[in-house]
Amino acid sequence: TYVMEEAIRGDFALIKAWKGDTNGNLMFRATARNFNPDCAKAAKIAIAEVEELVQPGELKPDEIHLPGIYVHRIVQGGKYDKRIEKLTLSTGSDEGSRGKGGGDGSRDRIVRRAAKEFRDGMYVNLGIGVPTLASNYIPAGMRVELQSEN
């Protein structure tokens, strides 16, 4: 006896890549590589926006994360400013709360709090970014199986 699950098939996939050639071969940066290739493969039509568009042959074969066979349309985007990123400087008032990383204290405080949720024998998916630092604060003698995306 078995249960057969039908694959999810989208009509369109709108994906963003760092670099691509005019044949649709794409390179992704960092975490953009996590889901963009799978979304493109699962769609009837994949439309890719790239920051840099190059001619075929300019990408080395081992640099290509998604072959052009899965990409139906490709466009070069315009201006790429990171509006979500803001320059934040420490005021120096939280010097005593800095942790191992020498950060601003709030990041360290969040990570320490997350680590307090660990229990002996747990399996933990840390995700991406700051949560991966929580492994630095597992108490000695506690056994926790860790998995991370990066």
Q: Catalytic positions, please?
A: 149
Distances (CA, A) of 3 to 9, 10, 124: 18, 22, 28
Amino acid (one-letter) located at 136: N
Write the DSSP symbol of residue 93. T
State the distance between the two ends of the chain, measured CA to CA, in whole angstroms: 37
Q: Give the integer Cα–Cα distance in Å for 86 and 88.
A: 6
Q: How far is CA 106 from the centre of its chain?
A: 22
Instruction: List the 73-76 sheet strands across, edge first.
Output: 26-27, 10-21, 43-54, 73-76
Instruction: For residue 52, report the phi and psi dihedrals to the nearest 5 degrees.
Output: -130, 125
